[in-house]
Amino acid sequence: MIKPTNGVRAFAIAALLATVAAACGSSEGNEGGDQLTGTIRIDGSSTVAPLSEAAAELFMGENRDVQVTVAASGTSGGFQKFCIGENDMNDASRPIKESEVEQCGQNAIAYDAIQVANDALSLLVNAQNPVDCLTVEQATQVWDRGSKVKTWGQVTGLNAPGDFAGRQMTLYGPGSDSGTFDFFTDEINGEEGRIRIDYTNIGEDDRQAVDGIKSDVGAMGYVPYSYAQEAGEGVKALAIDGGGGCVDATLENVQNGSYVPLGRPLFVYASGTALAKPEVLAFMKFYVDNATSIADAASFVPLTEAQVAAQHQKIEELVSGVGQ
Amino acid sequence: MAAPSVGAGNPHRTLEAASPRYGEKVIKVLLALCGALSVAVTTGIVVSLLFPTIRFFREISIGEFLTGTLWAPALVPRSFGVLPIVVGTLMIVFYALLVAIPVGLASAIFLSEYAPSRIRKIVKPALEVLAGIPTVAVGLFALWYLRPLGETIFPFLTWGPRQTVIVAGVAVGLMIVPIVASISEDAMRAVPGGLREGAYALGAGKLKVSTRVVFPAAISGIVASIVLATSRAIGETMVVLIAAGAGRPDLTFDPFAPAQTITAYIGGAATGDIPTGTILYDTIFAAGALLFLMTLAMNMVAIRLVRRFREVYE
């Protein structure tokens, strides 16, 4: 057996003390009433994730002892974990589904949807594309299952100028895992998952769609509004005619609800049990209070004043509902 | 040795140990357990694949699965024809072997027949390093360096989207070159020197000796190396996930378009948001079972081939 020398012995004791000190140090709870500590787990939509990340960074800057982790497994995947209590909050780009409501009910998770921003999908085309506006029927004609549209001239009623009419249409869109995909197919084609099969699937990487559209004059794709805003030069968003004339994809139009049908509210679902923890409640209130600056930081469409007030109301109800 | 019974007091000796050495018995049991662990793990994997697969085939017929040409389990209407992703896998394997076999065998011949010891000391470790590069790094390398390089070197080809089968296939091929080179080289070095010397004595040049004498003599090991490389290429997930993309639901043989392999489908679907217990969830296991069977068939063919070509030297 190796006999420990004095040096080795001293090192071992020092290491042991250091480990004990570290372990004891981190298990101290609230030192005082003002110091928030703990971990907040957020998961869900990859569309809402940038918002939650911006909120988390700002919040952690003010509350150094709170750890906020934001994952992005997709809205459905996040709800799965939310309804079994694995997450404190779920980012969602769509309202909760019936099956998910049941699951939450089974596990006694009380929740409410706190709206944190507005969002829209933009139909992007190359900046040199002469088309400016597309009706919903024309969009359906292009994107629906079994669509045979290959060139811009084949879209009925579009009246593409002569030299552009023969231009081939390359389509970009996300895969079936994406909440953006679910939303777009539901609104434009009438059913989630219903889409033509020969578009270029860019997976979850919306930037790839933007790059593809920038390099091809005849290309079209649909991306979340935030990516369209960040894309800058080289692409432009089409105005959408949902029955009431061509509506541009601007901040005001999304907020006042006139950008139909591609506008949607973005939610964070908070569970009653999670809000019982002081750090989660503080974060949720922080999120809503600073929703405008957070949305601006992440290039989203912020809430209006009225929407902010309504969300505070919802938070109060949820907290008091659990307390009973 | 029989115990002499002469003389008083001589104990009867036997050849067994004086004390039952429990330590030895425990060690034997532990080692046996470790050996049994691999069998247990393989059985466990097979069993875990089995139940969801059976559940899957209660809903979808095997014929529709194996012969359908539209792979759209998440689209509406659902379609479970597995051929598109099988073809995707086979295309990747084809392009990978197209690169790996010539480069690997040439490297092996160079290392075993031509290279002086100095050069061998550099090239052999370099091959080991290539084999050890993380697959995710190879995937990113393929997407961001090999693809633009392809456009520069071959501008006359019809390049389209960034993710293509051919670039991913070439990247997988480069990754499996060390497997082919290393094992083939070992096989060639194991060929007895007498065969080479006999050929030289008959007036053959170095190239003729390498390709007409050594190569056929080592064919068993070379075939084994190619089969191992193919198995690796079939099961490669990360490189194809990054560099070959998601592809279309229908069957395509275009190498300049993205295509999904079985492994990429499983990887993408399993890390996504599919509720357990649904048909989509079972689809992952059915695809996995198919992959498992493909690799199993590959390995059985390999064992037959190797046995057939083996040359035994005294």
Chain A residues touching residue B274 (CB < 8 angstroms)? 76-77
User: Which value does ipTM take for this structure?
Assistant: 0.71
Chain B residues touching residue A177 (CB < 8 angstroms)? 74, 268-269, 272-273
Q: Kind and range of the H or E element at A41?
A: strand A38-44
Residue A135 lies in a domain: yes
Q: Which of B273, B278, B279, B280 to mutate to test the interface with A (most CBs of A within 10 A)?
A: B273
**A208, A299: one domain:** no
Q: What percent of chain A has pLDDT over 70?
A: 93
CATH of the domain at A307: 3.40.190.10
pLDDT beyond 90 at A208: no
* Residues A257-298: tens digit of each pLDDT: 788 788 888 888 988 888 888 888 889 888 888 888 888 877
Residue A175 lies in a domain: yes
* pLDDT band, residue A215 (cuts 50/70/90): confident
Q: What is the CA radius of gyration of chain A?
A: 25
Residue A291 lies in a domain: yes
Residue A20, both tokens: 């004990």
Q: How many structural domains are present in chain A?
A: 2
Chain A residues touching residue B269 (CB < 8 angstroms)? 177
- The answer to whether residue A301 neighbours chain B at the CB level (below 8 Å) is no
- The answer to whether residue A191 neighbours chain B at the CB level (below 8 Å) is yes
**A259, A269: one domain:** no
Average pLDDT over residues B115-131: 93
CA distance B133 to chain A (A): 25
pLDDT of residue B28: 94
**A181, A255: one domain:** yes
Average pLDDT over residues A127-148: 90
pLDDT beyond 70 at B3: no
Which comes out higher in pLDDT, residue A267 or B36? B36
pLDDT beyond 60 at B5: no
Q: Which of B76, B164, B278 to mutate to test the interface with A (most CBs of A within 10 A)?
A: B76
**A186, A173: one domain:** yes
**A228, A296: one domain:** no
DSSP secondary structure letters along A167-185:
PBPEEEE--TT-HHHHHHH
- The answer to whether residue A174 neighbours chain B at the CB level (below 8 Å) is no
Residue B6, both tokens: 């002469």
* Residues B259-313: tens digit of each pLDDT: 999 999 998 888 776 767 788 889 999 999 999 999 999 888 888 887 877 766 5
Chain B residues touching residue A145 (CB < 8 angstroms)? 75-76
**A114, A61: one domain:** yes
* Closest residue on chain B to A193 (Cα): B75
**A135, A239: one domain:** yes
**Among A74, A197, A201, whose Cβ lies nearest the Cβ of B245?**
A201
Residue A142 lies in a domain: yes
Residue A171 lies in a domain: yes
**A79, A160: one domain:** no
Residue A15 lies in a domain: no
pLDDT beyond 60 at A29: no
CA distance B44 to chain A (A): 26
**A141, A254: one domain:** yes
Chain B residues touching residue A194 (CB < 8 angstroms)? 75-76
Domains defined for chain B, CATH in brackets = 79-277+294-309 (1.10.3720.10)
Confidence (pTM): 0.76
**A161, A127: one domain:** yes
Rounded CA separation A111/B59 (Å):
35
pLDDT of residue A323: 44
Which residues does B166 contact at the CB level (< 8 Å), separation at least 6?
Answer: B95, B150, B255, B256
> Which residue segment(s) compose the domain that A234 sits in?
120-263
Domain boundary among A214, A231, A263: A263
**A56, A130: one domain:** no
Using an 8 Å Cβ cutoff, are A100 and A52 in contact? no
* Residues A57-101: tens digit of each pLDDT: 989 988 888 999 998 877 777 888 888 888 889 998 878 888 888
Residue A132 lies in a domain: yes
Residue A49 lies in a domain: yes
Q: Kind and range of the H or E element at A99?
A: helix A98-106
**A166, A246: one domain:** yes
